[in-house]
């Protein structure tokens, strides 16, 4: 059984996050949950977190309440607060919503994309490849997200990236289980390249098809994991 390291050694300093103290604590804990630093089913000890972050119980309690409202933690009376296990129902729902948004977005962008925006997308792809070559997987994750956010923002709809991010939150956490698997990162880059190639051709039909293939790979892989790693799922 893997040893669970103390919270102090797994949380980034609060000065790495913007906002008020309460916002910093929330962002810090959410990051640790989304990147699986805090594992599904793990107990969150508030006293230990307070000590690790150097804060009182109030901002930690506020952060936990927000995380519970997002179904990222489970607060069980008389038992404690636990990192939520994965729910395939929530993953499927989030993937469905994100796919609807991204397919509509990429179809529109294929018709209106500018040469400068295509340069930004190609630059992102080159950066993804360089980061993987350097073994910077966290950097790759960040650029993966940035590519999707760029496409959403190129629609001209200001709130769309935020809406997609909210819909994707449970899928985004679960995908951390998939990308480290052998070959998955390479496949992801190929799928990204297919999307950008369709946008370069200003072909909305192929852009939709490439995006659909890319987004559905993740849920397909996660469905397999429910049998392989049942302890991580509800």
CA pair distance 5, 34, nearest whole angstrom: 17
**pLDDT attached to residue 175:** 84
Of 113, 97, 110, nearest to 209 by C-alpha is 110
Contact 175, 98 (CB under 8 A): no
Q: What is the pLDDT of residue 182?
A: 80
Does one domain contain both 40 and 96? no
Structural domain contains residue 2 = no
Residues 15 and 56 in one domain: yes
Residue 188 domain flag: yes
Are 181 and 109 within one domain?
yes
Based on the fold, state whether residues 18 and 106 are members of the same structural domain: no
Q: What is the CATH number of the domain that holds 46?
A: 1.10.10.10
CATH of the domain at 153: 1.20.120.530
Question: Do both 13 and 104 map to the same domain?
Answer: no
Confidence at 1, pLDDT banded by 50, 70, 90 = very low
Distance CA 125, CA 144 (A): 9
Domain that holds residue 187: 88-232
| 3, pLDDT greater than 60 | no
Residue 1 located in a structural domain: no
pLDDT, averaged across the chain: 93
Look at residues 68, 83, 98 and tell me which one is the last residue of a structural domain: 83
Residue 5 confidence (pLDDT): 67
Average pLDDT over residues 37-55: 94
Whether residue 70 is found in the same domain as residue 106: no
What lies within 8 Å, CB to CB, of 52 at 6+ separation is 6, 7, 8, 11
**Confidence category of residue 8, pLDDT binned at 50, 70, 90:** low
Do both 116 and 176 map to the same domain?
yes
Q: Please tell me the pTM assigned to this model.
A: 0.84
pLDDT of 46 above 80: yes
Which residue, of 25, 59, 83, is where some domain finishes?
83
pLDDT per residue as tens digits for the range 66-96:
999 999 999 999 999 999 999 999 999 999 9
Please tell me the distance from the alpha carbon of residue 229 to that of residue 47, in angstroms, as a whole number: 30
How much is the average pLDDT of 28-52? 93
> Counting every residue, how long is the chain?
234
Same domain, 94 and 209: yes
The full 3-state SS of the chain, as one line of letters, equals CCCCCCHHHCCCCHHHCCCCHHHHHHHHHHHHHHCCCCCCCCEECHHHHHHHHCCCHHHHHHHHHHHHHCCCEEEECCCEEEECCECHHHHHHHHHHHHHHHHHHHHHHHHHCCHHHHHHHHHHHHHHHHHHHCCCHHHHHHHHHHHHHHHHHCCCCCCHHHHHHHHHHHHHHHHCCCCCCCCHHHHHHHHHHHHHHHHHCCCHHHHHHHHHHHHHHHHHHHHHHHHHCHHHEC
Angstrom distance (rounded) from CA 25 to CA 14 = 7
148: in domain:
yes
pLDDT at 53 over 50: yes
Q: With 80 as the cut, is the pLDDT of residue 6 above it?
A: no
Judged by average pLDDT, the poorest of 69-78, 108-117, 168-177 is 168-177
pLDDT at 138: 84
pLDDT bracket for residue 4 (50, 70, 90): low
> Distance (Å, rounded) from C-alpha 69 to C-alpha 211?
30
Report the pLDDT averaged over residues 183-199. Answer: 95
> To which residue do tokens 């307070």 refer?
50
Domain count within the chain: 2
In a domain, 225, yes or no: yes
The reply to whether 24 and 116 lie within a common domain is no
Tokens matching residue 128: 């993804």
Tokens of 5: 């390291």
Q: Are residues 206 and 132 in the same domain?
A: yes
Report CA Rg, the chain: 19
Claim to verify: residue 225 and residue 116 sit in the same structural domain:
yes
Residue 218 contacts residue 175 (beta carbons within 8 Å): yes
Alpha carbons 77 and 82: distance in angstroms, whole number? 11
Residue 7 has a pLDDT of 65
């Amino acid at each position: 059984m893997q040893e669970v390291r103390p919270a102090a050694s797994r949380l980034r300093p609060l000065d790495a996050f913007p906002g008020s103290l309460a916002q910093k604590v929330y962002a810090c804990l959410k990051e640790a949950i989304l990147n699986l630093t805090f594992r599904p089913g793990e107990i969150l000890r508030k006293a230990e977190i307070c000590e690790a972050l150097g804060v009182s119980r109030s901002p930690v309690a506020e952060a936990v309440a927000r995380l519970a409202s997002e179904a990222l933690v489970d607060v069980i009376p008389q038992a404690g607060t636990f990192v939520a296990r994965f729910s395939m129902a929530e993953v499927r729902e989030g993937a469905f919503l994100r796919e609807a948004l991204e397919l509509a977005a990429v179809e529109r962008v294929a018709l209106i994309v500018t040469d400068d925006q295509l340069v930004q997308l190609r630059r992102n792809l080159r950066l993804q490849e360089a980061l993987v070559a350097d073994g910077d997987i966290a950097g790759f994750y960040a650029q993966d997200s940035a590519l999707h956010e760029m496409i959403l923002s190129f629609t001209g709809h200001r709130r769309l990236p935020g809406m997609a991010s909210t819909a994707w939150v449970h899928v985004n956490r679960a995908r951390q289980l998939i990308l480290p698997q052998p070959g998955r990162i390479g496949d992801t880059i190929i799928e990204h390249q297919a999307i950008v190639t369709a946008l370069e051709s200003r072909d909305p039909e192929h852009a939709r098809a490439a995006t659909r293939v890319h987004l559905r790979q993740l849920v397909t892989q996660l469905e397999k994991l429910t049998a392989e790693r049942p302890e991580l799922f509800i």
